[in-house]
A and B are shown apart, each in its own frame.
Chain A
Amino acid sequence: MQVIIALITGLLIGAGIYRLLGGAKIDIIIGLILISQGGNLIIFASGGLKHNAPALLTDEATNAASMADPLPQALVLTAIVIGFGILAFLLTLLTRSSKA
């Protein structure tokens, strides 16, 4: 699991940088999106990856070992929202400058 996530992260960031260096504005936007998804995956994996472990306290699972870490998930949510806002802004900027 860790290895897969690590590989995907590397792939996303590598592909993102490749597109970023493409030069056209739409290339740059796509590159930034890919890199930010890679960053989100880094955060997601930073809490440790667990199988079948909800990030909730239930009656039968009150020990930390059977729980997934909820904080990285909250951080990823925040990062996704910020990324979405930035993406909307970038696309607006793109349409503006292509109109001008």
Chain B
Amino acid sequence: MNPLTSILIALLTPLIGALLALASRTRPKLAVTSAVTASAITLAASISLAWATRSGDVFAIHAGDWQAPFGITLVADTFAAIMLVVCQLVIVASVIFCAKTLDASYHRRFLYPLLMTLSFGTNGAFLTGDLFNLYVWFEVLLLSSFALMALLRGEDGHAAAWRYVVINLIASLLFLAAAGLIYGKTGTLNFAELRVRFSEAESSFLINSSAALLFGAFGIKSALIPLAFWLPAAYPKLPPALSALFAGLLTKVGLYAFFRVFGMVFSDGTAFPHQDVLFVVAVVTMVGGVLGAVGQGEMRRILSFHIISQVGYMALALAIYSPLALAAGIFYIGHHIIVKANLFLATGLVEAHAGSSDLSKTSGVMKTSPVIAVLFAIPALSLAGIPPLSGFFAKFSLLHSALQLSDWIGAAAIALVGLLTVFSMLKIWRAIFWGDAEPREAKPHPLLNLTSAVLGLTTIAIGLAAGPLFEIAQTAANGLIDPQTYLEAVLSTPL
């Protein structure tokens, strides 16, 4: 398939799926079918795009044939394609879980159109080539996620949704102000053009203010401590099928923006010390997140705190900013999206089976359902970084890159937080899966086990094929550090 066609298919299929799901709202089965089909087609297009960009090629579409930097550009480079593929995998799994685990009240309330518009927003954010459109796509996916949050019932749910909405709106406003200031200073918003401008020696006085604003905005969106405490307040309230989607996608879109803007656009020519600030923030996030996780007593809450600590790892990769570290960070993001979503899905399985995921109420799932225990164990071990699973290679390559630059603080944090992660996973394991079991009859739908198993197998496969996949991550990282191909594709492609 032509890569340019793949870009359009990957972007527009979710929108068509959303419209179809909206049209068939009164018939949930049809809505589910259209949502799953649309996600599957998008996944296929994303895979073909990843295949086309695997050796570092960049494809750009100029909407309405307006040449960059004047028109709206859609760009697919290796990094964007990797993100598209893993996110679509999670979206497909999450839609299947939503269909089988949520009660009927959700199905009547615009659930599938919202899931599809969420996917539409994330794909747009990955493929866009300019800062303002990144803001717009962020708004598309945020509004979808707000509405999904607002489906929550009860006083607790409303409070969680409210907090989540307000903090993310503030992040969006920071982002908007930053985009305005950058346009005022440089006269362009196109990533490629901005990169060219910043590498010419200009005064960076106003750029610093924009960079600081962007840092705050992306920091809130990707949940870096001290901007992360909305996350454990909001995510555990969601049903597991949705929290898998949120945990997998939303913070990672923020990280994508971090990598794209601070890794590619701002990497030279700005005096804003984003690497030093990011380093401190990342280490604090890693340690703080995992300490928060150790102190929790409910599966969903523990996993929510783990999101924060893992985001710290990826931010650390960007803060170290060597080619190896950046590649490790990209590999880490890909691994993390799949594993984190899978952990939440496994939590959903536990709840469907045992009725609760509270550590003090549930025990002995191992005896009553060994299948669920295995399905939880795979992503849990992978998250903790046990070889030969994907998490080990992600952590190891990051540690290696930290040691290469003799960055002892970073290396110590990586090792220590890894240990604490294992510890808090063992806590879940001991409480939920071991111990005495009361007899349970409820069995989750076999399709759910299969979905979770596919993601688990993906984790194992990423671990076994770490070599070639890491090479692709390195290609993506090099494309960010030295975006020559990107600039050529965007700024001078005759259509």
Contact = CB atoms under 8 A, between A and B. Distances in A.
Contacts of A38: 177
Grouping DSSP codes into helix (H, G, I), strand (E, B) and loop, the B interface class, with mixed when no group exceeds half, is helix
Contact of A47 (B139, B155, B169, B183): B183
B161 interface: yes
B143 interface: yes
B184 A47 contact: yes
Given A89-B143, A96-B158, A100-B158, A39 B180 contact: yes
Contact of B136 (A39, A42, A78): A78
A67 to B, nearest CB: 14
Contacts of B180: 39, 42-46, 72, 75
Nearest to A92: B150
Contact of A75 (B143, B154, B161, B183): B183
Nearest to B154: A100
A96 B154 CA distance: 10
Interface in A34-66: 35-36, 38-40, 42-48
A90 to B, nearest CB: 7
Interface string B68-84: 00000000000000000
Contacts of B161: 93
B132 interface: yes
A45 B184 contact: yes
A43 B155 contact: no
A39 B171 CA distance: 12
Contacts of A47: 183-184
A35 B155 contact: no
A75 B184 contact: no
Interface string B147-168: 1001000110011011001100
A47 B188 CA distance: 10
B176 interface: yes
A68 interface: no
A43 B147 CA distance: 27
A35 B166 CA distance: 12
A28 interface: yes
Nearest to B155: A100
B177 A42 contact: yes
Nearest to A94: B162
B173 interface: yes
B146 interface: yes
A93 B136 contact: no
Contacts of A44: 180
A49 to B, nearest CB: 11
A96 B150 contact: yes
B165 A90 contact: yes
Interface in A3-48: 20, 25, 28, 32, 35-36, 38-40, 42-48
B181 interface: yes
B179 interface: yes
Interface in B348-390: none
Contacts of A48: 184
Most buried by A among B147, B159, B180, B184: B180
Contact of B173 (A35, A46, A97): A35
B169 A72 contact: no
Given A82-B139, A89-B147, A46 B183 contact: yes
A2 B136 CA distance: 27
A46 B177 CA distance: 10
B150 A93 contact: yes
B166 A28 contact: yes
Contacts of A35: 170, 173
Interface in B111-148: 132, 136, 139, 143, 146-147
A41 to B, nearest CB: 9
B414 to A, nearest CB: 37
Contacts of A79: 176
B183 A72 contact: yes
A60 to B, nearest CB: 23
A99 B180 CA distance: 38
Most buried by A among B136, B159, B176, B181: B176
Given A89-B146, A89-B147, A43 B183 contact: yes
A90 B165 CA distance: 8
Nearest to B146: A89
B173 A36 contact: yes
A97 B183 contact: no
Contacts of B154: 100
A39 B143 contact: no
B395 to A, nearest CB: 38
B158 A43 contact: no
A40 B181 CA distance: 11
A86 B169 contact: yes
Given A32-B166, A72-B180, 4 more contacts: A35-B173, A43-B177, A72-B183, A75-B179
15 contacts: A25-B162, A32-B169, A35-B170, A42-B177, A44-B180, A46-B180, A46-B184, A47-B184, A48-B184, A78-B136, A79-B176, A86-B139, A89-B143, A93-B146, A97-B158
Interface of B: 132, 136, 139, 143, 146-147, 150, 154-155, 158-159, 161-162, 165-166, 169-170, 173, 176-177, 179-181, 183-184
Interface of A: 20, 25, 28, 32, 35-36, 38-40, 42-48, 71-72, 75, 78-79, 82, 85-86, 89-90, 92-93, 96-97, 100
